[in-house]
Amino acid sequence: MSRRCLQLVLGALIWLAAHGASAAAPDFSGTWERYPDPYPADDRFPEEPPPPAGGPKLKEPYASAYRKLTQRQAEAVRKGVPLADPSTQCMPQGVPTIMAAVHPIEILQTPQQLVVLAEFLTQTRRIYLNEKMPALEDVSPGYNGYSVGHWQGDTLVVQTIGVREDVRFVDIPHSPQMKVTERLRLTAPNLLENQLTIEDPAILAKPYTFTFGYKRNPEYRILEYICDNNRYSVDAQGGSSLQVAPK
Amino acid sequence: MVEDFDGSSVNLHMRSRYIPFASIAAAVLALAGPVHAHHSFAMFDKNRLVTVQGKVSKVEWTNPHVYIFVDVPDAKGGKTQYALECNSPNVLMRTGWKPTMLKAGDAVTVGLYPLRNGQPGGLLDTVTLPDGRKIKG
């Protein structure tokens, strides 16, 4: 075989490896709703579902602080002045809360990116595919941090770093070194599974692993959700009250 | 039983959730559908479902919630404005609401869970439109 011929064959093989793999990758594009739905349907007084998988195992002093916080929350609810959380204040949810899909999420997938568009608060999360994770000091801390994804067979493995320290998932703190790993795969043509693991040895006694499931809804179109009429004010104790005067 | 959370007793009657309004034959719109929490609802009294009648003065079709303001006549010939919190527009649209369904001047009957702090407002349970349709909030 001539050298030129060998080059052509090798080139074709490389092209096939690259494009064949991407053609075989499952397509997660579409609008997805949590399934099974953890949010009670037709309940005028819905409460937050409990933290998934029984909640995280926290180190001290974080475990004690978390217990105190849940007691304060319960007491505030009893008094009718529930503590404001980031969602009450229309703050972005961040990773991984955005993936809890309190309202539907839409996924747009290209060979280079997976984009998660959350209906709640019109949030955007970008996951860069087949790229190297940058060093932590090169990442600008943000609500969604910086995410890269790689295909392992039919599973997209997404890693996220650089989530702002003040972002909370189920009210637990995290260190700047927190790493979130998500393993996304279709378990049926219209069912998506996301196995999440939070690793943060400074805060967590062991990695916190749980699963979010989603069902594709081809009928639904995401609506705009700009939170520009927040009528809840927060008092010095952190309690929230509805402002009834018309603006 | 007469409620008295605004200092007036006009048109405020305790009702259990399933006692029908006069317009019982009217279609009840949009009952299935997720009602997701943007916040805790502990500021509202879930054990009291109150009915008021009045005129819509303003509709705020906004996020995170739609608000309907209703002027309710009081015993002294004045009126009290109630702020009624509804779901968010995306959820309301999914459950069959139209943004133009309610407008200023409409006479409505409203079922609400009142604010626990005594302010004139509450969480909308149902609103009965001038044409008799009864809609979940």
B58 reaches A (C-beta below 8 A): yes
Q: Is the minimum CB–CB distance between B32 and chain A shorter than 8 Å?
A: yes
pLDDT at position A23, please? 55
One digit per residue, the tens of pLDDT, for chain A of length 247 reads 566 656 766 665 555 555 544 557 999 999 999 999 887 766 788 777 889 999 999 999 999 999 999 999 999 999 999 999 998 899 999 999 999 999 999 999 999 999 999 999 999 999 999 999 999 999 999 999 999 999 999 999 999 999 999 999 999 999 999 999 999 999 999 999 999 999 999 999 999 999 999 999 999 999 999 999 999 999 999 999 999 987 7
C-alpha A217/C-alpha A19 separation (Å) is 28
How many residue pairs from chains A and B have C-beta atoms closer than 8 A?
123
Amino acid of residue A201: P
B37 has a chain A CB within 8 A of its CB: yes
Residue A83 forms part of a structural domain = yes
CATH number where B112 lies: 2.40.50.140
Instruction: Give the residue from chain A lying closest to B49, CA to CA.
Output: A44
A230/B90 CB distance under 8 A: no
* Distance (Å, whole) CA A144 – CA A97: 9
In-domain check, residue B1: no
Partner-chain residue, chosen from B32, B60, B119, that has the shortest CB–CB distance to A41 = B32
Asked if the Cβ–Cβ distance from B90 to A119 is below 8 Å, we say yes
Q: List CB contacts (< 8 A) between B43 and chain A.
A: 80-82, 240-242
Residue B61 belongs to a domain: yes
Domain interval for residue A103: 30-38+51-219
Nearest C-alpha of chain B: how many angstroms from A100?
A: 12
Mutation target vs A (from B17, B39, B62, B88; most A CBs, 10 A cutoff): B39
Say yes or no: A219 contacts chain B, CB-CB below 8 A. no
pLDDT digits (tens, 9 = 90+) for B90-127: 999 999 999 999 999 999 999 999 999 999 999 999 99
Asked, for residue B57, whether it belongs to a domain, the answer is yes
Contact flag A87-B88 (C-beta cutoff 8 Å): no
Report the alpha-carbon distance of residue B95 to residue B36 in Å, rounded: 13
- Is residue B49 in a domain? yes
On whether residue A21 sits in a domain, the answer given is no
The answer to the question of residue A246 being in a domain is: no
Q: Domain for residue B4, yes or no?
A: no
Which class for B17: exposed (0-12), middle (13-18), buried (19 or more C-beta within 10 A)?
A: exposed
Distance (Å, whole) CA A205 – CA A217: 38
Give the nearest partner residue to B43 out of A47, A81, A228, using CB atoms.
A81
Q: Which residue range(s) make up the domain with B33? A: 13-136
Count CA atoms closer than 13 A to A40's CA, side-chain side. 9
Q: What is the pLDDT of residue A225?
A: 97
Q: Is residue A236 in a domain?
A: no
DSSP-derived pairing of the beta strands B28-29 and B134-136:
parallel
* Residues paired with residue A198 on neighbouring β-strands, in sequence order: A180, A208
Q: How many domains does chain A have?
A: 1
Q: Is residue A45 part of a domain?
A: no
Q: How many domains does chain B have?
A: 1
A36 touches chain B (CB under 8 A): no
The Cα of A246 is separated from the nearest Cα of chain B by a number of Å equal to 8
Low-confidence ranges of chain B (pLDDT < 50): 1-35
B96–chain A Cβ distance below 8 A for any pair: no
Q: Cβ of A5: how many Cβ atoms within 10 Å?
A: 9
**Pairing of the two strands B67-73 and A105-109:** unpaired
- Alpha helices by DSSP H, listed for B1-137, are 89-94
Confidence at residue A193, expressed as pLDDT on a 0 to 100 scale: 98
Within-domain flag for B3: no
Tokens of B111: 């079922």
HSE (side-chain half, CA atoms, 13 Å) at A38: 18
The CATH number given to whatever domain includes residue A67 is 2.40.128
pLDDT score recorded for residue B9:
33
